[in-house]
Structure 1
């Protein structure tokens, strides 16, 4: 990846805070062992990031023997020595007598009982895969019990413990489950630290900020600030995606670049909804575990806005040029490689990505080194405090290694950072 623009989609995955809007689309389909589950008119629903599906057709397709207790609103199921039970409105389920915590409770909608699809799949011995293009949930035999490796380190000082987890902000279901050590770090922590708590972002305020910082208010348009060649490529891309050619006219190049990356993301099955950050943020919210923001949305948006005009257009043009590969599978292949890097905990590839970004000094300073210094400052505060507490700090993986990485800086300052 010699050009900076070729990195942008990768950076979007491991660094970006932007999320994409979800338009109304065709109903989600559920497939098991190559056959679609007939759900009738009862479509899957999403609640707090968790997909729920109609219980009866799902369990019947999985050959689970069911028993419904109307009085207690409890369903029990058995299959090959496995016994499970779920109760409407309760986030506690049981598997072979052991209590399990559900992200979302089973519920009844129009006299149809809905259950969390991931809980059912993992309990029966499957994992779920999401295909955004086809809008399908597929049950796949789970042969990866160890879970994704990721990038995890542990630092201790003054009775405090900080776990550092390098995240992927935009992911897919293939990255789950996570290995036991990552989940254990979350369980052990009293605090969760993230770049920005995306569950509490005020969309109205963010749009207002984007309008103020990311759009032209002096009567000029995008075409007045970039070359004719760059502008024509933007118009052509928008029209190719069925959008108005002037849709981005009011916005600065950095906003347009993010918008184009979002368009490309929509051709893949990678979404912010399954990102590592959001996964833990939602878990912490349900457990009332305090969430600490190391940054804020305004800071991150200002970073892009403060890039020079030359860098903004370079990012935009290089991103457009990287889309000359008309094969939409190219975007998925690139993100698949990054996903594999994270799942395998490939530090060599992560460092190489950091070094590639560093070849553009202004971009690297704003995106990586300046922000790393601020994050290291926070981590040191946790380590040196008198709280005697445990923290899990989840930030973009690109912040962790390299000359200015959080891990590297802590080691230089004398802390013993242990890879987990």
Structure 2
């Protein structure tokens, strides 16, 4: 089991007796409503809990990982490694087989940068299960914020995220090889994650967070460092439009669970944090 798909496939929906996980964090006159983002989804996820919608409507801003609308001037570095350069013969064969299964061009996948091939496979697999990026929670709330003239703010520039992805060791070899190795197990992981989010099952999600083959370097760059940077920014409201007030914050779910998560770090900064959602146990098990 690994975490690489989490940012893409942690899907959740409302449920009669439970809710997706969300928290309040308050310090002085500064208030955050914190929601775990899932970057793909379907119509069954909505509507979100009324508390989230009401808070967004009267908030001073919606805080995202990055404002995905700000694409002007974005740059991708020239690729120096293709997937076939970093894969052994068996891995190349497996990648080609996965590409054929997902109706992708095997030659294009083998010649794409490793990080790009991995993300393409992940997104296509998710689409085959019926989920779309346009139905992701962050996009959903961003569209609502725009309609209500609520300012949209980013914790980091979109270029930072691109540089993070494209700057991985050996062009993203770890991400690609993990995607290939775990391909056959992902369906179970996706379905159990969906069930866990529908139930708001924090224990099950924390269990998933521990079932990882992510290298320390990858986890440091994609989770640990970003969590620390975000919390430093959130604790210093000088960058916010009103320097105080109520904000809705939507970030990737993995940043809110497990060791060193944003919620725990905010507590260390003196914020009073409370889970607002009601949870129940998900009726599924992760196979690993």
Which of 102, 116, 122 is matched with 1:255 structurally? 116
**Are 2:118 and 2:176, in contact at CA under 8 Å, matched by a contact in 1?**
yes
TM-score (norm 2): 0.83
- Asked if the contact 1:402/1:408 (under 8 Å) is kept, the reply is no
Q: Distance in 2 between matches of 1:242 and 1:182?
A: 38
- Cα distance in 1 for partners of 2:163, 2:223 equals 14
Deviation, structure 1 residue 242 = 3.9
Helix, strand or coil: the match of 2:40?
coil
The Cα of 1:357 is off from its aligned counterpart by: 4.0
Matched, 1:400 2:245: no
Q: Secondary structure at the match of 1:150?
A: coil
Give the aligned partner of residue 90 of structure 2. 229
Choose between structure 1 and 2: higher strand proportion.
1
Aligned mate of 1:163, from 23, 26, 33:
33
SS in 1 for 2:258: coil
**For 2:273 and 2:213, how far apart are their aligned partners in 1?**
24
2:205 paired with 1:344: no
Q: Deviations over 1:100-120 (max 9, x none)?
A: xxxxxxxxxxxxxxxxxxxxx
Q: Which residue does the alignment assign to 1:197?
A: 67
Given the superposition, is the C-alpha separation of residues 344 and 252 from structure 1 closer, same or farther in structure 2, using an over 3 Å criterion?
A: same
Query: More displaced, 343-352 or 260-269?
Result: 343-352
Maintained 8 Å contact 1:158/1:383: no
Q: Secondary structure at the match of 1:8?
A: coil
Q: Map of 1:13-92 to 2, 5 A cutoff? A: 13-14=9-10
Deviation at 1:195, TM superposition (A): 0.9
> Relative to structure 1, is the Cα distance of residues 356 and 323 closer, same or farther in structure 2, using a 3 angstrom cutoff?
closer
Q: Sort the Cα spacing of 1:252 and 1:347 in 2 relative to 1 into closer, same or farther, 3 A.
A: same
Contact 1:197 1:293 in 2 (8 A): yes
For residue 360 of structure 1, what is the aligned residue in structure 2? 215
Residue 379 of structure 1: aligned partner:
234
Q: Does 1:316 align with 2:181?
A: no
1:171 and 1:339 in contact (8 A); partners too: no
Decide whether the 8 Å contact of 2:102 with 2:125 is kept in 1: no
Q: 1:347 Cα shift?
A: 1.2
CA-atom RMSD, angstroms? 2.8
Counterpart CA distance in 1 for 2:207 and 2:115 is 24
Choose 1 or 2 for highest CA Rg.
1
Are the aligned partners of 2:60 and 2:247 in contact in 1 as well (CA < 8 Å)? yes
Query: Larger % of helix: which?
Result: 2
Q: Report the 3-state secondary structure (helix = DSSP H, G, I; strand = E; otherwise coil) of the residue aligned with 2:117.
A: helix
2:6 is aligned, of 2, 10, 27, to 10
Alignment match, 2:156: 295
| Aligned counterpart for 1:175 among listed residues 27, 45, 48 | 45
Q: 1:390 is matched with which residue: 230, 246, 259? A: 246
Shift of 1:369: 0.6
Shift of the 221–313 alpha-carbon distance from structure 1 to 2, 3 Å rule, reads: closer
